[in-house]
Chain A
C-alpha cells in the first residue's frame, strides 16, 4: 500500500483498488468525514478531483472495527495502559471505536468518571472511546450505580457492566436489566458464579487436575448465563454475555435466542484460538479470565460465531505490566492484550478455516457490536461502506504473514499470548470519520 499526497490541502481521499468486504476491487472516495462514492476501480466520478490517493490493491476494506470490551486502565493504572496508548493500539488493530470497561480506579460508576474517559478518548483522537458504566456502585455488587446519570451524561452510556466481576445477586441483576430499559441500555454480564470459582486459576478438567491448579468449571459460567437469559426473558430486557468461553454456554445462548429473547454474546479472539493445555508450562501469559478452555470448546465457539449464535468478537484487551505476569501462576494477574492482534487471530481461526468470509467478519467485528453497543445511529460505526455514510473503515492486507512482535505493539503492556506466533494479515490503514489514524501500517500522528 502507498499513500500519496496526505490530506493537507486536499479535499479527501481516493482509496484505489480495495476490495470492500472481500468482494470485487473498487475505488472508495472520502470527502470530509463521509464516504461520497464507491465505484468499480478506475470509474469513480470523483477521481479527477483534488484527492490524496491511497493505493489499496489487494487490500480488503471493511467498516472500522468496533470493540465492545476493552480495558483502557485509565484512570488509575496508567502504568499498564492509558486512553491514549490503548486507543493507539486499537487504531493499529483496525478499530474506530472501543468500549472502555468500567473497572478503573476510581470505578466508572458516575457521570463524572465516564465523561472523563470519554473526553480523554476525544483528546487522543486515535479512535472513539465509548465508556461502559458500572452496574453496581464501586463494582461492589450491592447497590446499583447511577445508571441513568451515566446514560444522560455527555458520554451517553448505554452498555453497563461490572466486568471483572459477576453481578452474582439475582435480584440486583434483575433490577439492572429492568432499569436500563428506560434508556435502551444493555447489561453486559461477566458470567462467573463466584462461589464455584473461588481461587480458580485454569479451566477445570484434565489440565487443572494434572497441574494442581484450582479449577474454573464451565458450569460456573453456564449457570449464570442460563439464569440471566431467564431473567432477561422475564423482564423483557436486553442481556449481553461477555467473553463466552464454553461449549455449554453456546448451547444455552442458542436456546435463548431460539425463544426470541433479547440476548447477545461475544467471544474473544484468544478463546477462538488457544486452549488450556498452554498452561502446562505455568507461564501466566496464558492466564486469563474466563480461562482458556478445551479444543472442544474452541470448536463450539467457532461454530457459534459462524452460525451467529455468538454475535460478535470482542477483545477483552486487558493490559498488565510485566511484573504482574513474571510471577508464580497463582498470583499473576488475569488478562491478555488483544486489540492489535484481534483481526489477525479471527483471520486465522475463522477465515483461514473457511468458517467466515470477509463480509461476515465485518458483521461480527463491526456491524453487530455497533448495534449491541447502540452505536449504529448518529455515531456512524458499523455502517455500510457506501456513499453517504461516515468514513470509518479499515484496510487489511490478507496476504501478509508474520510473527507477532509484542515489542512493536503500541499498547503500554506486552502481555500478548500470541508473541512469536505466525499469524496472517496486517492492518494497513484505519480511517476515523475520513481522517486516517493509521497509514502504511503505522500510526498517524
Chain B
C-alpha cells in the first residue's frame, strides 16, 4: 500500500480489498466492551480541516482514538485560504510537531497532493474540492459488500451532481477497480464534458436505469447550482432526478439506497425513501469509522512494529 491515501484511483484491487477486510475485522472490535486497540499508541494523527465537515472529522477522530493515537484537531476554517497562513507553512508546522498522519479536508482540489510534498507523514484525503473523497468510496464499497455480499458484478447507479462531486469520482475509480459496473445518472449539465473517458456508463433517464441496478447512490445537490443555470429549478431537478417512493418501487427487491450525507430531504431524496429499510444511510456512517480505522491502521500500523495486544487485533495483523 502507498504511504498516502489521496485518490481512490491509486488503490490496486489488492489494496482496496485489504482495507475492506481489515475494516471488517475492526468493525467486530466495535462490538467488544472496550472497543479500543493500542496499535497507534504514541502516534499523532492531525485532522486538518479547511472546510466544515463535522461528520467526517468526528469519524476520523473516533477512528484514530479507537486505535489509541493522539489526535490533534486543526480547524483552519475561517482563516481564509487566500490570506491566512499558507498551506505550505501549516504543513511545515505540522511536520515540526511530528505528525505521523495528516487527515486533510480542503475546498481546493489537489490540496492533499500539495500537502504530501511538504510533510513526511502519511496524508489521508478526507475530501478535496471537487476531486476525490476516497474514504467515502471505501465505506460505500464496504456497505455494499456487507449488504449484498459482493462487489464484483454489482450494478451501481450514482445519481446527481457528478460534475462537482468528489464522492462520485472516488466511487467511479474504486468500484471499477473492485469489478462493479457504474452508471452515472444526471442532467447533461452536471456531467463533466469528458465523462465518456471514464470507465462507466452514462444515462440522462433515471427511471430507465432503476429496474436494473443493485445499488442507487444519491448525491446531494446544491441549491446554488440553480442560479448557475445547471438546471431550471429545484423542483424540476427533483422531479427528473430525485428518488421518491414511486421511483424506488422500480428497483429490484434486493436493491439498496445510499447517500453520503448530508441529505436534502425532499430534493434529491424523499423522506420516506431515506427512512426506508432499503436505505443504508445510517449504516454508512457507522461503517465510516471502521473503514477509516483500517486506513489509518494500514498506513501507520505496519511501520511501528507495535504488537497487537488483543486477540481481535492479532487477526487484523494476520490480514496485512
Contact between B132 and A328, CB atoms less than 8 A apart: no
User: In the complex, A213 Cα to B130 Cα: how many Å?
Assistant: 7
Q: Which residues of A contact B43 (CB under 8 A)?
A: none
A209: interface (CB < 8 Å): yes
| Number of A-B residue pairs with CB-CB distance less than 8 Å in the complex they form | 71
From A208, A211, A323, A327, give the contact of B114 (CB < 8 A): A327
Min CB distance B128 to A, Å, is 8
A358: interface (CB < 8 Å): no
Min CB distance A79 to B, Å, is 16
Q: Which residues of B contact A282 (CB under 8 A)?
A: 109-111, 113-114
User: In the complex, A443 Cα to B1 Cα: how many Å?
Assistant: 50
Within 8 A of A (CB), among B152-169: 164, 166, 169
User: In the complex, A323 Cα to B89 Cα: how many Å?
Assistant: 10
Contact between B108 and A331, CB atoms less than 8 A apart: yes
Contact between A327 and B87, CB atoms less than 8 A apart: yes
A215: interface (CB < 8 Å): yes
Q: With A211-B131, A212-B131, A328-B81 as known contacts, state yes or no: A217 contacts B106, CB within 8 Å.
A: no
Min CB distance B82 to A, Å, is 6
A329: interface (CB < 8 Å): yes
Contact between B86 and A326, CB atoms less than 8 A apart: yes
Q: Which residues of B contact A329 (CB under 8 A)?
A: 108-110, 114
User: In the complex, A217 Cα to B113 Cα: how many Å?
Assistant: 24
**Among B192-200, B204-212, B234-242, B285-293, which stretch is in contact with chain A?**
B192-200
Contact between A209 and B82, CB atoms less than 8 A apart: no
User: In the complex, A331 Cα to B86 Cα: how many Å?
Assistant: 11
User: In the complex, A206 Cα to B113 Cα: how many Å?
Assistant: 19
Contact between B192 and A209, CB atoms less than 8 A apart: yes
Q: Which residues of B contact A217 (CB under 8 A)?
A: 193
Residue in B closest to A213 when the chains form the complex, CB atoms: B109
User: In the complex, A173 Cα to B114 Cα: how many Å?
Assistant: 40
From A204, A283, A328, give the contact of B193 (CB < 8 A): A204
**Most chain B beta-carbon contacts within 10 A, residue among A204, A328, A331:** A328
Residue in A closest to B162 when the chains form the complex, CB atoms: A209
Interface residues of A (CB under 8 A from B): 204-206, 208-213, 215, 217, 281-283, 323, 326-331
Interface residues of B (CB under 8 A from A): 81-82, 86-88, 106, 108-111, 113-114, 128-132, 164, 166, 169, 192-195, 197-198
Closest 3 A/B residue pairs (Cβ)? A282-B110, A209-B192, A212-B131
- What are 17 A-B contacts defined by CB distance under 8 Å? A208-B192, A209-B192, A209-B193, A210-B198, A212-B128, A212-B164, A212-B166, A213-B129, A213-B130, A217-B193, A282-B109, A282-B110, A282-B114, A327-B86, A329-B108, A329-B114, A331-B108
- With A205-B194, A282-B113 given, name 5 new contacts (CB 8 A): A205-B193, A209-B198, A281-B113, A283-B114, A330-B110
